[in-house]
A and B are shown apart, each in its own frame.
Chain A
């Protein structure tokens, strides 16, 4: 159990377009999901915390109007990169807590975004 999926796994888009990334918990309900960004050979940078039915909480320095997060159900959170630019190219990873009391975050396989 505790499987998290992401779609798409890879996406290439033109500068100025918007891209939506989906994160799903397949076999459990996730009241909290997290979105991270990872640069090559670097650690994960937390972008935002997504709670079902409420607005996401963004980390300092992350533009909430550029990185739109929606947590519509207990199994789905989406990250939309609006008006993407080449500097937004990165590896985006989501995670989900299965149970808040154990705090184990289970991670999706990641999405490689390339903006031309």
Chain B
């Protein structure tokens, strides 16, 4: 079984401040972890992923995420948020041992960056 929790429905930050979106996961084996962003009435855009290797993953638009195995977390971060980062963010996981390639998504976190 695999699952993702995004504990915050909403995150509000001021432009220029650091942005963190939290994600914890649960898998039977080892995880593949992903972050996606969704703008209104649009599909999901891929931001970054952790497969293996360095725990700090850098992705698109200045975002990064840190894989923490002991805390089973994969929090998304951006050092300086922009108003244009306001969107819905999804964390997703897949168990490496699974052969059906299905992703499990969190409930999503709405990020609002105020000018």
Contact = CB atoms under 8 A, between A and B. Distances in A.
Contact of B46 (A32, A41, A43, A106): A106
Interface string A88-116: 00010101010010111111111010000
> Which of A34, A95, A103 has the largest number of chain B CB atoms within 10 A?
A103
B51 interface: yes
> Which of B32, B90, B102, B107 has the largest number of chain A CB atoms within 10 A?
B102
B53 interface: no
Given A103-B32, A104-B49, A43 B43 contact: no
Contacts of B88: 41
Interface size class of chain B, counting residues whose CB lies under 8 Å from the partner chain = 20 to 34
B63 to A, nearest CB: 15
Contact of B108 (A34, A42, A46): A42
Given A42-B108, A43-B108, A46-B102, A103 B43 contact: no
Given A42-B108, A102-B51, A93 B101 contact: no
B41 interface: yes
A94 B108 CA distance: 18
B102 A107 contact: no
A70 B74 CA distance: 35
- Nearest 9 interchain pairs by C-beta: A107-B43, A107-B44, A109-B43, A110-B43, A43-B105, A43-B107, A108-B43, A103-B32, A44-B105
Interface of B: 32, 34, 36, 41-46, 49, 51, 88, 90, 94, 100-103, 105-108, 110
Interface of A: 2, 4, 6, 32, 34, 41-44, 46, 49, 57, 91, 93, 95, 97, 100, 102-110, 112
